[in-house]
Amino acid sequence: GQNIDQPTEMTATEGAIVQINCTYQTSGFNGLFWYQQHAGEAPTFLSYNVLDGLEEKGRFSSFLSRSKGYSYLLLKELQMKDSASYLCAVRERGGSSYKLIFGSGTRLLVRP
């Protein structure tokens, strides 16, 4: 089975930095993804980690520690438009196929 945990909600201030944590327990781990989802819209890809360490992409960075079953998404220079849900997803191998298993998401509210 699999278990992916993220905080339900977070609040931060415009211009600040926020870190969204994700812990997971899964068999057949094959990578970790972060997606952003605005209310009523499609999830959109933010980042991918398969090896330990930090991946940086503009204002967004994602970190992975496979031994700890832990990842975080770091958002810098927060903007109001960053208010959204952030979904942690583990790619899991099952037999000969792969699928993404999502956590429940973290709702981030950015305040002025």
Per CB under 8 A, residues contacting other proteins are: 4, 30-31, 33, 35, 41-45, 48, 50, 87, 89, 91, 93-95, 97-105
Q: How far is the CB of 100 from other proteins (least distance, A)?
A: 6
Q: How far is the CB of 108 from other proteins (least distance, A)?
A: 14
| Residue closer to other proteins (CB basis): 95 or 112 | 95
Tokens of 20: 């969204």
Q: How far is the CB of 71 from other proteins (least distance, A)?
A: 15
Using the CB atoms, write b or e for 51-77: b if 16+ within 10 Å: eeeeeeeeebbbbbeeeebebbbbbee
Q: Are 23 and 80 in contact (CB under 8 A)?
A: no
| Residue closer to other proteins (CB basis): 75 or 106 | 106
d(CA 53, CA 62): 8
| Residue closer to other proteins (CB basis): 13 or 45 | 45
Q: How far is the CB of 38 from other proteins (least distance, A)?
A: 11
Q: Residue 47 carries which DSSP code?
A: E
